[in-house]
Amino acid sequence: MSDELSELNFRQDLQEALQAEDALRWKIEQVAPLGIYVSLSPASAPGEMFQARLLWKIYPGEPPSLKFRDPATCRLDLPTAWPVVRGFRPQSLDACVNYCVEGFNLHPEWKNDANLKWSDVGNRLLWVVRRLQDELDNHYTKRF
């Protein structure tokens, strides 16, 4: 997939995602041709805000890189910017889940598992943001 096609797909899905009803819960900023910052809070801790950076190399054909950014310092290398939820490894600054590229790097076998491999069906940007929100709403315990 060409960069141009990726960017076209990404722009279209970003615009759609912003129209979703639940988008009112998020602040989404496009920060790269294939990248966003999205601010989210757990339902149980609305005062806690986490800012995820989702950055694709190819959209929607590959999973995005997932990092959390400290809004005060703009740093992406602070474990304290990460929430404690299933599969996240703040000390390693990565997440072992099958919706980010870091997870697939940790588990290359997922790429060959038809059930677990990345799917490019539907609005993948929205899908990943909703996965993050779902994780925060249902499995958040604390900030690291």
Query: Is residue 144 a contact residue for another protein (CB under 8 A)?
Result: no
Instruction: Name the helix (H) or strand (E) containing 27.
Output: strand 27-32
Rank residues 26 and 99 by Cβ distance to another protein and give the closer one. 99
- Closest alpha carbon to 132 in 83, 91, 94: 83
CB of 142 closer than 8 Å to CB of 34: no
Q: Sort residue 53 into left (φ over 0), alpha (ψ -120 to 50) or beta.
A: beta
Q: Does 110 bind another protein (CB under 8 A)?
A: yes
65 lies in the binding site for another protein (CB under 8 A): no
| Interface with another protein (CB under 8 A), residue from 42, 124, 136, 140 | 124
Residues lying near another protein in the complex (CB under 8 A): 16-17, 19-20, 86-87, 96-99, 103, 106-107, 110, 114-116, 119, 121-124, 126-127, 130-131, 134
